[in-house]
Amino acid sequence: MQKIKTDSTEIEIGRIENLIILSILPIIFLISAFLLDTPANILKGLYSIIISSDVLLVDYLEVGGIGATFVNAALLALINIFIIYKLKLKLNGALIAAIFTITGFSFFGKNIFNVWPIYIGGYLYAKYQKIEFKSVLVVIMFSTSLAPIINEIAFGLNTNILFSLPIAILFGIFIGFVITPLSSHMLRTHDGYNLYNIGLTAGILGMLITSLLRSFGFVIEPQQVLSTKYDLFLKIFFFILFLLLIILGYFINNKSFKGYKKILKFSGRLVTDFTQLKGYGITYINMGIMGIVSLAYAISLGGVLNGPIVGALLTVVGFGAFGKHLRNALPIMLGVALGAFIKIWDIDSTAVILAGLFGTTLAPIAGEFGPIIGLIAGFLHLSVVMNVGVVHGGINLYNNGFAGGFVAAILVPIIDAFKKGD
């Protein structure tokens, strides 16, 4: 057992207890799946999910149904939690963010087939460099952003599966092998102000892969497959889950919200790990609050909850352990909403809502330079994210991280230039 040293009176919780807490959500998904659907439909839906195109935006709720989607999310989350357990890693903010991001993207883009070649590549990279796999695990978990390319090659080449499947797996292994050194270099581009650093890395690597495939006549077509069937259910379901997360954190923090206000003082710039800075109880409280506020944001814009929006909600919640809080995230969301109001896009569209939620990758800019700059960052982010997807053909699921990297790389030096000129 290990006690977090904070200025709160947090109850002692150890590594195993935290992993059990992290397993609650996927277990709820698993139980709910079999309450909402039959085993036969779930198996059929999982097969449809596995063989479908996964480029942006393909909603697994529409492709395979809610039961299969919940099972897909539960399995991916639980397997990754088991990997963390076997590697004897202490749960920190980065791992929590990675688990919630993988779980969220299990609603669109990542499935129980297409992520594992990337893990194999990461494992081989660790062996080649003679380092422990656990030292690169977080990067590999996030690098499944490029998992759609595996589906596209395996099932989209219109060739014999015996030829296309090995090629797809080799592409995945290659991605997993090179993503770690690439990501460390990309971090310098935005200086830690883009929380989805792998999104920028994966976007550039995806651009290279897509260009290569296009040069051989294989064009990846963008998708727009979105569900409208489960809107009300998902809103109630996730509101309850996020509320339970706050309650859980409240009890772990010895029935107190003490320490929450201090989280709001951090800029969120990489690396800001709330579990280490303020303890697990306050972190879980912050995660739940971020979930409820993000859900309210989606509803207030008139959004219909579907797989991609659920993915965005869970990602924001995960990063509530690793850099995001109300003070630095809300200006970005409002900047995106303001941009949608006066620009050409419908404010209630899934793409705009995703830009507002995922756009909080730029939260450290608002945290460091204030809410007005945060509004400007969100305003700019919407324009960039709506136009950069074409270069990678939608195979980079973290398109907002890709766009956010460019916004941060341009905006932060300009801000610094004005500061130095004062």
DSSP 90: P
Instruction: Flag whether pLDDT at 5 surpasses 50.
Output: no
- What whole-number percentage of the chain has pLDDT above 70? 96
pTM, entire model: 0.94
Q: What distance lies between CA 313 and its chain's CA centroid?
A: 9
CATH of the domain at 346: 1.10.3430
Contacts of 130 (CB under 8 A, 6+ apart): none
| Mean pLDDT for all residues in the chain | 93
Tokens describing residue 63: 């492709």
Range of the domain at 335: 1-415
Give how many domains the chain has, as a whole number. 1
The pLDDT of residue 10 is: 67
Instruction: Flag whether pLDDT at 23 surpasses 90.
Output: yes
Grouping H, G, I as helix, E, B as strand and the rest as coil, residue 289 is: helix
Please check whether residue 421 lies inside any domain of the structure.
no
Neighbours of 38 (CB within 10 A): 11
pLDDT band at 372 (very low <50, low <70, confident <90, very high): very high
pLDDT band at 185 (very low <50, low <70, confident <90, very high): confident
Please check whether residue 422 lies inside any domain of the structure.
no
Please check whether residue 185 lies inside any domain of the structure.
yes
Please check whether residue 420 lies inside any domain of the structure.
no
- What whole-number percentage of the chain has pLDDT above 90? 83
Please tell me the distance from the alpha carbon of residue 161 to that of residue 168, in angstroms, as a whole number.
10
Please check whether residue 62 lies inside any domain of the structure.
yes
Instruction: Flag whether pLDDT at 352 surpasses 90.
Output: yes
* Torsional sign, CA 11, 13, 18, 23: negative
Please check whether residue 161 lies inside any domain of the structure.
yes
The pLDDT of residue 2 is: 37
Please check whether residue 17 lies inside any domain of the structure.
yes
The pLDDT of residue 9 is: 59
- Short-list 392, 327, 316, CA closest to 356: 316
How do residues 229-259 score in pLDDT, each as one tens digit? 999 999 999 999 999 999 999 999 999 999 9
How many residues belong to the chain? 422
Between 420 and 263, name the one with better pLDDT. 263
Please tell me the distance from the alpha carbon of residue 279 to that of residue 261, in angstroms, as a whole number.
13
For 298-310, what is the mean pLDDT?
97
Please check whether residue 89 lies inside any domain of the structure.
yes
